[in-house]
Amino acid sequence: MTDWREYAMATNLERFRKDLDRLISQGERLEFLMLKEVMQGDKLDELIRKQVGAENAKAFLKDLPDLHEDYEAWYSESLALLRQILPDRVSNFIGLYEKPKGRKSIDYGNYVMQDFLQGLQVTLHGKVKVDMKAALPQYTQQLAILKAAKTRFESSLFEIRQILQADIFDSEISAARELMKHNYLRAAGTIAGVVLEKHLRQVCDDHSVTITKGNPGIGDLNELLKANSIIDVPQWRYISMLGDIRNLCSHNKHKEPTIEHVTDLIDGTDKVLKTVV
């Protein structure tokens, strides 16, 4: 059960990363499409040449998708992702898209992406006051928010993993307690022992402790943590005692664990999860 959940956790994190990379790439393409829509003549030709080279310019222009359809899909997907990864910037992202409520006049400061998508242009006394170019800074800011989400995601990936890992371990400890309540003592002790072993391995990884043994057990990991001064002698002795109970539950078929043994192992594992980090 634990392995499946850990696999799901890793898969979800990788999906977030891939989605962000794809949306940022799409966003940069959309930025070019917006520039294409508001630029004309030599400036546009120069932009295309820089983007793809003069020899590929005609084919490049022919293969470009529809800006409006692509933007709406990009916006919806980006918004959904931001709600999960960078919720404190969601209102800013929406504000750059939606028309402000109660807006009485339109200028460069409050022209938004909805205006751009509708091709809105404001004139005053026959002169253009605001045109579609006003949306460029708004879109650039939206793309910047998405890139900030990517930076935030990468910088806090360790924190995210720790939170998800803690949730998984809490669930496993609860499962062990439920099994113990129904007198499945070996199964309860085995689950608690697996949680303890995985946590100790995670602590080694977090502290960049090199693990040379192929399949280290609780005793091996406990020794490494003591040797690297991550735990003190009393903690080492306590974890050694928990390891002995785990072995009784998982390996010793000649002696049955008691409810006191399993209670000590489950409670002790829960304590180590909170105190050895």
Integer CA distances (angstroms), 196 to 2, 122, 230, 248, in order: 12, 66, 16, 15
> What's the CATH number where 203 sits?
1.20.120.330
Q: How many domains in the chain?
A: 2
Say which amino acid occupies 265.
Answer: L
Pair (13, 136) in one structural domain = yes
Q: Are residues 22 and 99 in the same domain?
A: yes
Encoded tokens for 250: 């998982």
pLDDT of residue 30: 86
Start-end of H helices in the chain = 2-38, 41-52, 57-63, 67-85, 90-95, 113-117, 135-155, 157-181, 185-206, 218-227, 233-250, 259-275
pTM over 0.85, yes/no: no
Provide the angle, in degrees to the nearest 10, between the axes of the packed helices 233-250 and 218-227: 170
- Residue 32 pLDDT: 79
189 and 271 fall within a common domain: yes
User: Mean pLDDT score of the chain, rounded to an integer?
Assistant: 85
- Give the residue from 239, 198, 194, 246 showing the smallest Cα distance to 230: 239
Average pLDDT over residues 118-140: 90
pLDDT tens figures, 256-274: 999 999 999 999 999 998 8
Q: Does residue 138 sit in the same domain as residue 231?
A: no
Asked if pLDDT for residue 63 goes beyond 60, the answer is yes
Q: Determine the Cα–Cα distance for residues 128 and 103; give it in Å rounded to an integer.
A: 19
Indicate if 123 and 180 belong to the same structural domain. no
Q: Which domain holds residue 251?
A: 158-275
pLDDT of residue 38: 77
**Partners of 127 in the β-ladder:** 124
Amino acid 214: pLDDT: 86
Same domain, 184 and 144: no
Distance CA 251, CA 190 (A): 9
